[in-house]
């Protein structure tokens, strides 16, 4: 019997537990649904790649079978990081691309990221589910072709790299797909590279595949300090997110990296519009505006950031989690490897250490992102209840994604995750650490009440 749980068709990806939510037969059906969806839009050729997860090779074979029997031709690029899949779609002028990955989720998860000229999400994913439910083959089988776009990709990166002073770089591949390509790319450009967790292992034995998870950069910090490196880079499971560690051991999140990348692009006239997700610090739009740029907020999620960029004409975009868009005529999607190359180029052209560049950025009193477990079936209801509570209390609200409550120079963001049964929260104050903590404690107390009303256990929150 085919396993295919409709709940795995999430906000902007297909993602679930392999063997429980779907199996290889279910992936054949998904492949048929994807092929039919592209057929309806005139799409006839798709690029397919897969990440390092242990379940990925079998799911890859099943996906290709499902696609081919709908008449779609497949360009198979094998085990690759997601940025290379995105590059290949445009390089081969394909109708779209499919990456087998569960990104930063635990090892037992897998799924798909699907793109055309933008990420396929929302109602289109629901349409794919319905198309996957139709039995039977559709037409003459499509063609199957194997390609390797890596050398062309590296050449495009070289054209955008600059080398000033020599840099020592530690690369933490997180045992994901980037470990097999990023160190060699950076060495070819001219950087000295130290590696940790760069062997590909889909069980992710050394750290969480999410580099922003608590303690995920602990080993990277230690390696940077031990070898006295200039910078460390930590990638996620499928290689499309990156955060950094300064030579001092300080972990640098995506919103600060976005400020550096956007500020450099604004100064050099390569961009004038920047998109940032709502989880980013308020310092991010404040800094970009001070640099003369225009800013456009977006809901959390790389697909939504990209959509806002395409609608506004923004050239730079990013998230706190480490997704970055540096769009031009060749790179048309998010690319953490390109962002890393740009960041290293920026640093190598400076006479200052990385920590000094970070110290020059505005910084407010911000919490980390808290991810609170919450069942999928009630998380939107809880966010709505929190919104109504603060609306009745008369606080200004911003509702780009979930809600951001303005307490007067101090903010609280509460939103539901698009990829997991979680609520996401972040708190920040321009005034003081005490103001931020006061608001955080008050909001969490209200959230506990909402959980209690629904007979849910509210987890212990640790800083």
Q: Where are the beta strands (DSSP E) in 199-290?
A: 231-235, 242-246, 251-252, 273-277
Q: Where are the beta strands (DSSP E) in 80-224?
A: 96-100, 109-115, 144-146, 168-172, 192-196
Contact between residue 414 and residue 388 where contact means Cβ atoms under 8 Å apart: no
Strand partners for 415: 424
* Start-end of H helices in 291-415: 302-312, 336-348, 354-359, 376-392
Neighbouring C-alpha atoms within 13 Å toward the C-beta of 380: 5
CA dihedral 418, 415, 396, 381 (to 10 degrees): 100
Q: What are 185-191's contacts with CB under 8 Å, separation 24+? A: 185/154, 185/157, 185/337, 185/341, 186/340, 186/341, 186/344, 188/154, 188/158, 189/157, 189/158, 189/161, 189/163, 189/341, 189/344, 190/163, 190/166, 191/163, 191/166, 191/167, 191/344, 191/348
Helix (H, G, I), strand (E, B) or coil at 45: strand
CA dihedral 419, 420, 421, 422 (to 10 degrees): -90
d(CA 463, CA 117): 40
Contact between residue 97 and residue 88 where contact means Cβ atoms under 8 Å apart: yes
The catalytic position among 13, 55, 103, 367 is 103
For this structure, is 311 an active site residue?
Answer: no
CA distances from 413 to 231, 283, 433, 452 (A): 30, 15, 16, 21
Residues classed as catalytic? 103
């Amino acid at each position: 019997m085919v396993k295919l749980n409709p709940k795995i068709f999430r906000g902007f990806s297909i993602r679930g537990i392999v063997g429980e939510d779907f199996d290889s037969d279910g992936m054949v059906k998904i492949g048929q649904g994807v092929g039919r969806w592209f057929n309806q839009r005139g799409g006839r050729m798709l690029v397919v790649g897969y990440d390092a997860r242990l379940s990925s090779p079998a799911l890859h074979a099943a996906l290709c079978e499902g696609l081919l029997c709908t008449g779609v031709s497949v360009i198979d690029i094998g085990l690759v990081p997601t940025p290379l899949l995105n590059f290949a779609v445009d390089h081969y002028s394909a109708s779209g691309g499919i990456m087998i990955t569960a990104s930063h989720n635990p090892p037992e998860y897998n799924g798909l990221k699907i793109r055309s000229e933008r990420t396929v999400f929302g109602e289109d994913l629901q349409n794919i589910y319905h198309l996957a439910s139709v039995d039977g083959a559709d037409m003459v089988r499509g063609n199957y072709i194997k390609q390797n776009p890596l050398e062309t990709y590296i050449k495009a990166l070289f054209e955008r790299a600059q080398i000033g002073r020599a840099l020592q770089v530690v690369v933490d591949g997180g045992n994901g797909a980037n470990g097999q390509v990023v160190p060699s790319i950076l060495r070819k450009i001219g950087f000295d590279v130290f590696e940790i967790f760069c062997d590909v292992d889909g069980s992710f034995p050394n750290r969480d595949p999410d580099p922003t998870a608590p303690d995920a950069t602990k080993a990277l910090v230690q390696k940077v300090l031990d070898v006295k490196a200039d910078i460390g880079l930590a990638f996620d499971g499928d290689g499309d997110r990156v955060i950094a560690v300064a030579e001092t051991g300080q972990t640098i999140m995506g919103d600060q990296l976005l400020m550096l990348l956007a500020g450099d692009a604004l100064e050099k006239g390569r961009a004038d519009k920047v998109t940032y997700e709502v989880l980013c610090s308020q310092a991010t739009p404040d800094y970009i505006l001070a640099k003369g740029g225009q800013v456009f907020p977006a809901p959390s999620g790389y697909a939504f950031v990209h959509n806002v960029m395409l609608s506004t004409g923004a050239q730079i975009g990013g998230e706190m989690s480490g997704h970055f868009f540096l769009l031009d005529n060749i790179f048309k999607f998010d690319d953490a490897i390109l962002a890393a190359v740009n960041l290293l180029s920026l640093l190598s052209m400076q006479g200052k250490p990385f920590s000094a560049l970070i110290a020059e950025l505005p910084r407010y009193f911000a919490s980390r992102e808290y991810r609170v477990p919450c069942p999928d079936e009630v998380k939107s209801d809880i966010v709505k209840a929190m919104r109504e509570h603060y609306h009745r209390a008369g606080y200004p609200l911003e509702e780009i994604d979930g809600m951001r409550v303005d307490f007067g120079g101090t903010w609280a963001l509460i939103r539901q995750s698009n990829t997991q049964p979680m609520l996401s929260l972040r708190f920040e104050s321009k005034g003081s650490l005490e103001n931020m903590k006061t608001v955080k404690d008050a909001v969490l107390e209200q959230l506990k009440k909402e959980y209690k009303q629904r007979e849910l256990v509210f987890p212990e929150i640790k800083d």
